[in-house]
């Protein structure tokens, strides 16, 4: 049996994504999916997230975030970046 595809995505979200609980929603959704990484607000009103794990779990996280009634994502720019082997857990960054 082949191992599930793993990846690390950097995602920039724009829309109504700050002051709506986006970061903590991402945190609570990422944990049961066994994703690692972080999420933070950017000064320009976007939210940046790096998430790592199975590709199907990464897709599921994006779908779940998009379906939240209090979050209105207008655009999500996704870039695959190198994985971080030592990383454990998913966290909210305060920057």
Catalytic positions are 23, 41
Residues written for the chain: 95
Task: Spell out the residues 6+ positions from residue 59 whose beta carbon is closer than 8 angstroms to its own.
Answer: none
SS3 at position 46: coil
Can you name the residues that pair with 77 across neighbouring β-strands?
12
Can you name the residues that pair with 51 across neighbouring β-strands?
9, 37
The helix (H) or strand (E) run that includes residue 76 is strand 72-81
């Amino acid at each position: 049996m082949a191992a599930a595809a793993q990846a690390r995505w950097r995602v920039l979200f724009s829309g109504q994504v700050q002051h709506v609980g986006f970061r903590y929603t991402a945190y609570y959704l990422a944990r049961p999916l066994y994703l690692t990484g972080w999420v933070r607000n950017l000064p320009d009103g976007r939210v940046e997230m790096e998430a790592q794990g199975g590709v199907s779990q990464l897709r599921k996280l994006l779908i779940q975030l998009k379906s939240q009634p209090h979050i209105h994502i207008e655009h999500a720019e996704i870039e695959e970046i190198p994985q971080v082997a030592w990383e454990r857990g998913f966290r909210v960054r305060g920057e």
